A and B are shown apart, each in its own frame.
Chain A
Amino acid sequence: MGLRIILTIRIFTILLVIFCLTGAEAGAVKYERSVESVTIPDVVLVNQQGDKVRLKSLLETDQPVLVDFIYATCTTICPILSAGFANLQRELGPEAAKVRLVSFTIDPENDTPGIMQEYLDRYQAQPGWDFLTGSRQDIDRVMKAFNAYFRSKMDHQPLSFIRSQEDGKWIRLYGLMSSSDLMKEFQQTGGK
């Protein structure tokens, strides 16, 4: 009986600590938000199916657009960003196809269409999420346009962007975000 009471108290304490900490993490703003003007470079990239994609046409659209910079063999930042995209699609359900999610590789040397498709499959990506590669020069142009240039993929940082449907400006989100934060930012910029 005594052991049971001790265990109950212990479990309650653990759960209390966990919920308090979880709440604290979720409640605090842990990422930086800014509004940026981005001039999309006129480059042709290649998606996970090997199709050529003119970037301006893909991004300058009436549809909501979210962008991030990742690479397929990344071990730390990219899985968290991609889990956020995957969860956003899950939360949006049938509406997901109306939102463009665009991941740019920062490792075009390695990330071929086949590797990128495999990556998207791993995250159970739905239609509407494209992973783009291209020549090093074109990828560098895109990174620089978004003020997200990394000399090496190993120097990269957690960056996501949401295009405002009102004025075409981009909300720059710097930091590892929870899915609820990403959803909140998405809804604030006109996403349904």
Chain B
Amino acid sequence: MMRSSQTFTVFMTKVAIVHVVVLLLLAGAPRFSGAADQPALSAEEAYRLGERMYREGILPSGEPMQAFVNGDVPVSGTSFTCVSCHLRSGLGSIEGQVSAPPTNGRLLYLPREPYIKGYEHVPSFHNYAVYFQPRPAYTDETLAELITSGVDPTGRSVIKVMPIYDLEDRDLEILIAYLKTLSDKTSPGVSESEIKFATVIVEGTDPVAVESMLAPVEFGIARKNSLTNASAANPRVARMGYNMLGPDLLQKKFSLSRWVLKGPSSTWRAQLDAYYQAEPVFALLGGISEGDWEPVHRFCEENRIPNLLPIVDYPVISDNDWYTFYFSRGVRQEGEAAARYLHGMYDLFSGRAIVQVSRDSRKGNALADGFRAIWADTGHPAVIDIFLKEGEQFSQQRLQEIISELKPAALIVWDDAAALEAFTGLPALADRPGLILASGTYVGKALWTIPEPLRELLSFTYPYRLPQDDIRFDTLALKVLPGKKYSDYDQKIIRQSYITNELLGNALMDMRGEYYRDFFFDVIAMMADEYYPLYERVGFGPGQRYASKGCFIVQLGKGENPQLERRSEWVTR
């Protein structure tokens, strides 16, 4: 107890010093001049340092910021960064019963009322505004006081929910200057009357898949624009639209352009740059590719353009990238799930080998890489890898050789439906492995044609809700295809794109007229986990970028019209 009390007392003394400095600064000292022995900073450098303080909790000196939470708990600023609660946009968060108000200069330097001006009668705006107590506009001085002492301009203490920071005068000045830049100018692609979106389509993608991706999003946009048109002519519709969206979003029309990428992926970046230069859009919605997506991902990262849920098998796997929300970790996720499933039963293997046979293809390699990455984390001995070259058939003979030579406890086969032929003689093999696992999505529709004697011997990864359970979402999916034949579309992609449309609508309504790209993704990250079509559970969470993280292990059941049967839970650890 002594230690933290002493630290806190020292800190409070520093608070007094900081206030002296702030008062002196406000007396007219030039910006970013710093102490006499510190060089002046350019605006760019000050911005970079301020962003690092805000996002990483690192002082310009490179040291971590020192913070105290709840009045007396000393913590490193790197675990209690500003961005943790106020989010990247600075427009704040509401989670559980703790709410973090906006901390961008534009709103800080305005008085806060128990309503949002111009939106007093919009229910969602009103519900948000009453979360926070009214206060006068901040000044540089009172903002410095809040950050260093936890006292707001009304004299209220916020130390229960916000850390106080031990900052020198120059660092405080840099941080406050950065706050003034946050969510300051409306993002590109948004005007008084319109929000522009685009979707990226890789030329050569199956046309049915493309139409299935487009239909739900185009439906959502058409419906929104119809509401805008109707509200201009019909006061009852206008009232409904006003209550749902507020006056600003109601009057804005949405547009969706198709950015078609042609030729090799090495040329896509130039095409994307040209599209963007001709038409700056607020965000990319969906998008589709049967192969590469990385150039689009990088384009979004570098231009800070959100891309909401592209339909891809090979998303970029990153813990830090920010600007693309994916449905999942793609094909790789099945391999990762397989490794976790085997890890859970490893004690049963009694030290016998695990063999991984993988097709040397993009899909086979992604599955095998995913498996190996998770397996390495478990600390178990490495699996024996066998690679199938292009054109090489996985035959019954090859299977028998593997079994007789290696006697594996478990065999994983990452190959397409042609590999199923190798298992024909499996029931008669005496030393067959206790577990044979393949990819349900790689095998594809052939999964449903597996003959009965093999069904209890073969297990599959399946990264979706089981079809017999997901059928209840058909009604929802059909809503985005009015007057169209469901069978003309890819039902998986329709379901994915349905989710995109839902998230887009919900996010824009939650954004309260603050059309900032970072806030768009901040808002989605703060949404509660949902039970949408296709995936057992969809959820983001701050900083998370892969919505569905689970995968079942399944077997095909008995009978003429078999169903998939679960052999694992959605998430295995």
- Chain B interface residue count, Cβ-Cβ cutoff 8 angstroms: 62
CB neighbours (8 Å) of B19 from chain A are: 10-11, 14
**B502 contacts chain A at the CB level, 8 A cutoff:** no
- In the complex, how many angstroms separate the beta carbon of B244 from the nearest chain A beta carbon? 22
Q: Given contacts A25-B159, A154-B529, A176-B98, are A109 and B73 in contact (CB under 8 A)? A: no
B160 touches A75 (CB 8 A): no
Contact B1 A91 (CB under 8 A): yes
Q: Which residues of B contact A87 (CB under 8 A)?
A: 4, 73-75
Interface string of B15-27 (1 = CB under 8 A from A): 1100110010000
CA distance A179 to B5 in the complex (A): 11
The answer to whether B304 has its CB under 8 Å from any CB of chain A is no
Residues 87-114 of B contacting A (Cβ, < 8 Å) = 87, 93, 95-100
B72 at the interface (CB under 8 A from A): yes
> Which of B69, B75, B161, B537 is the one whose CB lies under 8 Å from A109?
B537
Chain B residues positioned under 8 Å from A152 (CB to CB): 528-530, 539
Assembled-state Cα–Cα distance A154/B248 (Å): 28
Which residues of A have CB within 8 Å of B16? 11, 14-15
Q: Name the one of B71, B99, B526 contacting A25, with C-beta atoms under 8 angstroms.
A: B71
Q: Please name all residues of chain A whose beta carbon is closer than 8 Å to the beta carbon of B527 when the two chains form the complex.
A: 154
A89 to B541, CA, bound (A): 28
What separation, in Å, do the CA atoms of A55 and B550 have in the docked complex?
23
Instruction: Tell yes or no: B85 within 8 A of A by CB.
Output: yes
A134 touches B96 (CB 8 A): no
Size class of the contact patch on chain A: 35 or more
- Contact, CB under 8 Å: A177 / B70: yes
The answer, among B75, B80, B93, B569, for a CB contact under 8 Å with A137, is: B569
CB distance from A12 to the nearest CB of B (A): 9
- Tell me whether A17 is interfacial, beta carbon within 8 Å: yes
A83 touches B573 (CB 8 A): no
**B459 interfacial by beta-carbon distance below 8 Å:** no
Bound-state Cα–Cα, A46 to B377, Å: 13
List, in ascending order, chain A residues with CB within 8 A of B529's CB.
151-154
B548's nearest neighbour on chain A, judged by CB, is A109
Q: Which B residues touch A151, using CB under 8 A?
A: 528-529
Question: A75 is contacted by which of B76, B100, B550 (Cβ under 8 Å)?
Answer: B100
B549: A residues at CB distance < 8 A: 109-110
Q: Does A192 contact B (CB under 8 A)?
A: no
List the one stretch of A57-65, A95-103, A155-163 in contact with chain B: A155-163
With A75-B100, A76-B100 in contact, is A7–B23 under 8 Å at CB?
yes
Query: Which residue of A22, A109, A133, A177 has the most chain B CB atoms within 10 A of its CB atom?
Result: A109
Identify 14 residue pairs between A and B in the complex whose beta-carbon atoms are under 8 Å apart, listed by A's number: A7-B20, A10-B19, A10-B23, A22-B71, A25-B71, A73-B544, A75-B100, A75-B542, A90-B4, A108-B573, A112-B573, A134-B573, A135-B572, A183-B1
